[in-house]
Structures are given as C-alpha cells and as structure tokens.
Amino acid sequence: MSFMNNLVNGTDFDHTSLNALQKVTLRAVVMSFLFFGLVAIEGMIMRMVQVGPSAPIPEMFSHAEHYFSIMTVHPIVGIFGSTYQLVFAAFMFLVPYLTKKPLYSVKLANAVWLLITIGTAMAWIAAFVWQYAPLYTLYWPLPADTKQFQVIGGIVFIVGVALIMVGTLGFIYNIYATIFARVGVHKDKTTKELLISGFGIDGMLNLWHKLRGKPPYTKEPALALPVVAIFRGTVDTFLDAIVILSAGILVLVYLVFDASGHPLNVGAIDALLYKNYFWWGLDLVADGLVLIYVAGSWYLLATLITGQKLFMENVARAALMLELLVSWMVWSHHLLADQGQPEMMKLISGEMVTAFELLTQGLALFITLVTLWKARPLKMTPQLAYLLGGLSGFGLAVPAAIIQADMGMNRVLHNTQWIIFAHVHIALIVGLYMTLYSAVYVLWPLVTNNTTLFSKKLTWAHFWLYLIGGIGMGAFAGMAGLDGMLRRHLYVHGEFNTLMVLAAICGTMVLVAWFLFLFNIVMSVGLKGLIGIFLPAKDKTASYGIEPEIAVGES
C-alpha cells in the first residue's frame, strides 16, 4: 500500500462500523493527543528559554508576560485538555464494558469532550491574546490583580476553566449513573450493595471475616475492582471540580466588580486560608484522582494482559478505601514553607499522612507486579512494556515527593525544579501516560474493531524515546532544582545551562516520540477515518461486548 493511500485510508479502519460508544471514546482520545502535542511544544519553548541566550528561539519568549502566560496554560492544557480527556474517554468506555451495561448517556459523553475542549481552548486563548498569567496555583489575590492583568483575559480564562469543570461534572454524572443503573448483571443489586462495593468496603469486610475465621462477606463483589477504583477516584474528581469551580467563581466576582468600576477589597479573603482550600482541592487531582485511577488501571491492565485474577484482590479493594482517607488529608505538604500554617497541620497532614502514600502506592505496585509474575512467561508486548514503564514512573516519582514532604527538606527545596520535574513530570509523563499508553494499546482492538496498526517498529521507537526522554528530562531538570533553580522563575542568562541543555535534549525526545505515535495512529486510521470518527454513528449502541443496547439516558 502506498504512503498516500495509507495516509488517506489507513490500514483497514472502517469508521462506519463503529458504534456510538466507540466513536465518542475515540473523539476524546483524538482531542487528548492533539492537546498533548500542544503541551509538549509549550514545554519545549520553556526548556529553550531556560537554556539561555544561545538557544535558537525568538526573543519574545523570554519576556516575562509571554513566558508566564505559557507557564499558566501549560498545566491547564496538559492536565485537563489532555490527561482528563484521555482518562475520561477510557473510563467512559471501560465502565460499560466491565459492568456489561450501556453507558448512561452518549450525548452527555459528547458534551463532556466538547466542554473540556472548548474550555481548554478558552484558557489558552486568554493567555495567548491577553497574557493572563496568574499560574495554575491562582494564589490569592494574584488572579484578581487587575494592575498586572486585563480583566477580559481573566474572565475568558476563568470561564474556560469553569467549562472544563462543568464537563468534569458531566463525566462524573455519567459514570455514577452507569454504575448505579440497575440493569443487566446489576438488575437484582440494591444501591446499598453497589455503594458498599464501590467504596471497597466489601474487600475490607472480606479481610475482617477471614481474620475471624468466618466465610467471606461476599464471594462475588458487585463491582469489578477496576470499576471500584474508577468509582473511588471519581469521588475525588468531584470534590476537586467543586473546589476549582468555587475558586473560579470567587475570582470571577472580583473581576466583574472591577470591570463595573466598583472593585472589591481583595484583603477580605485570607490568602493563607484560600491557599489551604485551593490546595486541598488541587491536591485531590494528584494524590486522590491520579494515584487511585492509576492503581485501578494497573489492576485492570495486569488482569487483561495475563488473563488471570488479581493477586490479593481483597487487600487491593481495602487499600482503595484507605486511600479515600489519605487523599483528603495530605494537602498541607504544599504549605510546609508557609510560616503561618499551624505546625501540627504541617506535621500530621504534611508529613505523616502524606507518607502513607508510599504505602498505598507501594501496595498497588506490589500487587500488580506479583500478578504479572505469577503469570510468567509472558510475551513482551507494547501493552506490557508500557505498563512496566508506568510502574517505573511512579516508582521514581512517589518517593521523590515523599522526600520533599518533610519540614527539613522542604526548607531548601520548596518551589525549586525538584518537585515539578523529579516528581510531577515523571509522575505524569512517565507514570501516568505510560500507563495510559498501555491502556490505549489494550483497548485499541476493542474501540477500533481490530484495526491493524500501521507499524510495530514505530510503536517501539515511541516507547523507548518516550521512556528515556521522560525520565531524562525529569532527572536533569530535577537536579537543577537541587542546585537551587526555582520552578516559577524566569532565567534568561543560561544560569543552569548544562542541565537545561540536557533536559531540552530529553524533552525533544518526548516531542519526537509524540509525533511518531501520532503518525502511527494517523497512518492506521487514515485521514478519512479520522474525520469519520467525528461524524455521527449509525449504530447507536452505547455498550460493547454485550447485546446491543442504547444509552439509558437517551431511551
């Protein structure tokens, strides 16, 4: 097949054969990877600025307004535009697939990816056009500082973020409505049974009964373990959406009053209290949502790759319940450098409870590895390789954070590049995304009706470039943090030149890897197929792998 033919028609992809659930899944996946490209380019621009005057990059990027505008939208595009979309897409497909029930509403699923896409685009436009740059932390009163930022930029940005959160609430509703729908295999289950299973309480009760020598509380839990993780992580997604939405409304009120000529007193809001509230919510993204969703994804991938039951399933279920308590109580590790923060909160929430994440994530790592180990020999497929890459990412990133969540270490590491690269970037780029790539390759035959991938060599080239580039960038930039390089500061003289050059080389590997991945996918589905994904599905089925059923919300 010629190159042009492949580019236009793909391998053997037929978008007309896809049902409504498959199409809505793929739409969000496409948007997610487009935003990933944007975020990788943004990241590379910042890397190049930090290299210094020798970097081949236009001078305008070194202006503070421009540089911090990019830094402001970088996490919005990366976390919401890309990661949220990909995770939501996977879960809106997996929940119906695993529960053998139709998705509650395909229309709502379409609204979710559209709202998140439009919201992300608006936030990006606000930064690009009006250079609104309070950073994602939105430390009060900076987002309402109209001496530095134009009101219109702030309003567009906040409305954009609010749309993302409304889309997130739509996802949550869809997931819970699907889980609690008493149809199919859950026809005879009560809401109480589904709730007990969703929170992992049945796993805990099974362990308790075992300790007391009694028969198990339940031999067949109402919900499969990955669904429990999705259920549980979605609790944090909900709380996080409420916190970000309410903080956005607060900023919006101040901006609107300012625009009307009657500015409100920003001093009426306690900056430290606001920081506590905002970090409590924001931290649920990292310590609740990501870690729990990732643990659930590992369990699912391990069982699908091996075809065997998960090792210590009851412990895994109980650990998800434990993580519920842990993730709500760890936000103070972001406030260890705030001298007004009570010492007890620093000690208990910031240090001790945070350290429990070593336990919960270590447990998930252990269970996944043993499940794989018991099934050996296994073939080293891309699915397995990416899963191992994801495990490595969290194996590196979680201890990097626990080290800094300490009053002694934080005093000399807070706000340096250590936390944002050795922890955040390795956790997201390597840990989370490699897990998601594994899921993409596992789900690929299901959502594309067994479309042949264009090139396996490109898949492996992507894997190695991405793994080495991701870890390398995190490591070199993290080392710059140990040398005192701040994370939210503009360096234009190449102050940390050597490490920044190395980080930029590794960042380029990640960017090239993304391009190879995208090329491989486009050559597999073809441009016609790519457009076809966004055309209405003829088959309105909202489920996969069971008798065709349309969405409950649309019936």
Partner 1 sequence: MSFSNSLELLAFHNVAYSIYAALILSVIAWFGYNLTRKKKAKSMVRIPFYTYIGFLVAMGVGHHIFTYNTIPWVSQDITRHNIKPDATYRFEVGDHKWINMPKKVTVQCGQTIEFDVRSRDLVYGFGLFRQDGSMVMQMQVNPGTDVNGILDPNDILWTFRHNGVFDVMSTEYSGPEAYDENGNSVMLVRKWLEVVGCKDEGGKK
Judged by CB under 8 A, the residue of 99, 297, 416, 543 near partner 1 is 416
Instruction: Count Cβ atoms below 10 Å from residue 494 Cβ, excluding itself.
Output: 16
Q: Does residue 414 interact with partner 1 by CB under 8 A?
A: yes
The rounded distance, in Å, linking the Cα atoms of 543 and 426 is 34
Tell me: does residue 139 bind partner 1 (CB under 8 A). yes
Backbone angles phi, psi at 104, to 5 degrees: -55, -50
CA–CA gap between residue 188 and residue 190 (Å, rounded): 7
Give yes or no for residue 304 binding partner 1 (CB under 8 A). no
User: Judged by CB under 8 A, which of 37, 395, 472, 494 binds partner 1?
Assistant: 395
Q: Which of 126, 401, 479, 523 binds partner 1 (CB under 8 A)?
A: 479
Rounded to 10°, the helix 456-482/382-404 angle is 10
Nearer to partner 1 (CB atom), residue 227 or residue 479: 479
Closest separation between CB of residue 372 and partner 1, Å?
6
Nearer Cβ to partner 1 (304/355): 355
Q: Does 391 bind partner 1 (CB under 8 A)?
A: yes
Nearest approach in angstroms of CB 419 to partner 1 is 13
291: its two tokens:
């870690």
* CA-to-CA dists, residue 550 to 174, 407, 464, 539, angstroms: 14, 54, 41, 9
**Residue 409 within binding range of partner 1, rule CB under 8 A:** yes
CA distance 129 to 380: 47
Q: What gap in Å lies between CA 466 and CA 514, rounded to an integer? A: 8
Question: Is residue 323 at the binding interface for partner 1, with CB under 8 A as the rule?
Answer: no
User: Tokens for 294?
Assistant: 């990732």
Out of 121, 172, 348, 358, which residue is the one contacting partner 1 (CB under 8 A)?
358
Among 11, 110, 146, 415, binds partner 1 (CB under 8 A): 415
Q: Rounded CA gap, 295 and 317, in Å?
A: 11
Asked, as a colleague might, if the bond just before 141 is cis with ω within 30 of 0, I would say: yes
CB of 147 to partner 1, least distance (A): 8
147-176 residues in contact with partner 1 (CB under 8 A) are 147-149
* Residue keyed to tokens 């705030």: 338
- CA 258, 261, 262, 265 torsion-angle sign: positive
Q: How far is the CB of 126 from partner 1 (least distance, A)?
A: 15
- Of residues 367 through 386, those in contact with partner 1 by CB under 8 A are 369, 372-373, 376-380, 384-385
379 Cβ neighbours under 8 A, 6+ residues apart: none
Cα R_g (the chain), whole angstroms: 23
Residues numbered 44-83 forming contacts with partner 1, rule: CB under 8 A: 62-65, 67-68
Closer Cβ to partner 1, 117 or 410, answer by number: 410
Instruction: Show the tokens assigned to 158.
Output: 């906040």
User: By rule CB under 8 A, what string of x and - marks binding of each residue 11-40 to partner 1?
Assistant: ------------------------------
309 scored as a contact of partner 1 (CB under 8 A): no
Q: Which stretch binds partner 1 (CB under 8 A): 155-163, 187-195, 220-228, 400-408?
A: 400-408
* DSSP letter (8 states) at residue 278: H
Residue 415 or 455 with smaller CB distance to partner 1: 415
Binding flag, residue 351, partner 1 (CB under 8 A): yes
**Interface with partner 1: number of residues (CB under 8 A):** 83
For residue 411, state whether it binds partner 1 (rule: CB under 8 A): yes
Select the residue interacting with partner 1 from 1, 185, 253, 272 (CB under 8 A). Answer: 272
The answer to whether the beta carbons of residues 169 and 115 sit under 8 Å apart is no
- If DSSP codes are grouped into helix, strand and coil, which group holds residue 541? strand
Task: Choose one: 14-22, 96-104, 436-444, 477-485; the region binding partner 1 (CB under 8 A).
Answer: 477-485
Q: Please say which residue, 27 or 74, places its beta carbon nearer to partner 1.
A: 74
Q: Which is nearer to partner 1, 240 or 351 (CB)?
A: 351
Smallest distance from partner 1 to CB 489, Å: 7
* 490 is a site residue for partner 1 (CB under 8 A): yes
Rounded to whole angstroms, the Cα distance separating 522 from 532 reads: 12
CA 224 to chain centre: 22
User: Token digits for 95?
Assistant: 């929940």
Choose between 31 and 364: whose C-beta lies nearer to partner 1: 364
Long-range contacts of 74-77 (CB under 8 A, 24+ apart): 74/39, 74/42, 74/43, 74/46, 75/136, 76/120, 76/123, 76/124, 76/136, 76/160, 76/161, 76/164, 77/35, 77/38, 77/39, 77/42, 77/120, 77/123, 77/124
267 binds partner 1 (CB under 8 A): yes
Per rule CB under 8 A, is residue 362 in the interface with partner 1?
A: yes
By CB under 8 A, residue 310 contacts partner 1: no
The one-letter amino acid at 126: A
| Footprint (CB under 8 A) of partner 1, residues 85-104 | none
User: How does DSSP classify residue 185?
Assistant: G
Site string for partner 1, 420-459 (x = CB under 8 A): --x-------------------------------------
Cβ(132)–Cβ(157) under 8 Å? yes
Can you tell me which of 31, 402, 500, 511 binds partner 1, judged by CB under 8 A? 402
